[in-house]
Chain A
């Protein structure tokens, strides 16, 4: 069993899903088509993934320092976290030239 028995996974999942849009000001309402819960023993509420999985399915909003390139920073982060694959989606801080 991957989750401890007795945790309300459906409720926690629902809260996570309904809170997702709010993280970036996206407003939406959910309508139930089939009123059904989720089962125990498979999958995880994203915030409750075991740490290795949490990292594998994670993203970092990294404040890139002005010196190194994005490519270099990605290489550092890969080594730091010991992950095979990492990428970047553009940087917040850009070098000035």
Chain B
């Protein structure tokens, strides 16, 4: 909740997956439909619709996959995985244009935003409210611990670097991460890309940009490894390991 709201942007701007029902205005052969769906896979150009919250200039978006789940009469059920900011209603409309018969979107359900799928502990409002009730009235924490996940799941798709205890508080206070502060590093860490900084206990400290590839991180004995961009962990939790008056680097 409070602390993790800072990371929402990273989740919202990651890829999405939808299931959508498209109504064709006339029946076409399934092979024609499949061919056109293939044409809409890859990089596509889209102008945001009239009623949208962004500037209406043509934008490039990646469609990673369109799977035709069912096709009967003139209705097509599809699963689409794409970049954030790809308009499904527009996609259906454009597919209709390409097929020459016209089409529009009938129904839409998002099944994934970044790491959040329908399978990742999806809870209903009612379940959450019951969990809170059991906690407040009976002191039972188990339901709430099941409904709410540690915010660390937000960074499950990011490569991770684990900090030594002595480096944690200085990162929280705005320092950059230097090589001696690293305890472990994931083999997915890449120079220039986002990384999550965790404590040895697993707490998310910050999200930052890596200045090194993972093998460089492993070998480096000095130098800046990561520039934090968003600090999540609160100050004062970990012991200060640096001397008074000394600033800037960790540990």
Contacts and interface: CB of A to CB of B under 8 A. Distances in A.
Interface of A: 9-10, 12-14, 16-17, 20-24, 26-34, 36-39, 42-47, 49, 51, 54-65, 73, 76-77, 80-81, 83-94, 96
B43 interface: no
Given A33-B218, A42-B237, A59-B4, A73 B125 contact: yes
B55 interface: no
A32 B5 contact: no
A31 B116 contact: no
Nearest to A77: B128
A92 B118 contact: yes
8 contacts: A16-B202, A17-B160, A38-B201, A42-B238, A45-B201, A58-B150, A83-B2, A96-B107
Nearest to A49: B150
B199 interface: yes
A56 B1 CA distance: 5
B11 to A, nearest CB: 4
A93 B109 CA distance: 5
Contact of B152 (A9, A20, A63): A20
Given A20-B160, A51-B141, A83-B1, A31 B202 contact: no
What band does the interface of chain B fall in when counting residues whose beta carbon is under 8 Å from A? 35 or more
A44 B203 contact: yes
B202 A46 contact: yes
A90 B202 contact: no
Interface string B1-28: 1111100100110001000000000000
B200 A62 contact: no
Nearest to B183: A34
B220 to A, nearest CB: 9
A24 B186 contact: no
Interface string B181-193: 0111111100000
A46 B8 contact: no
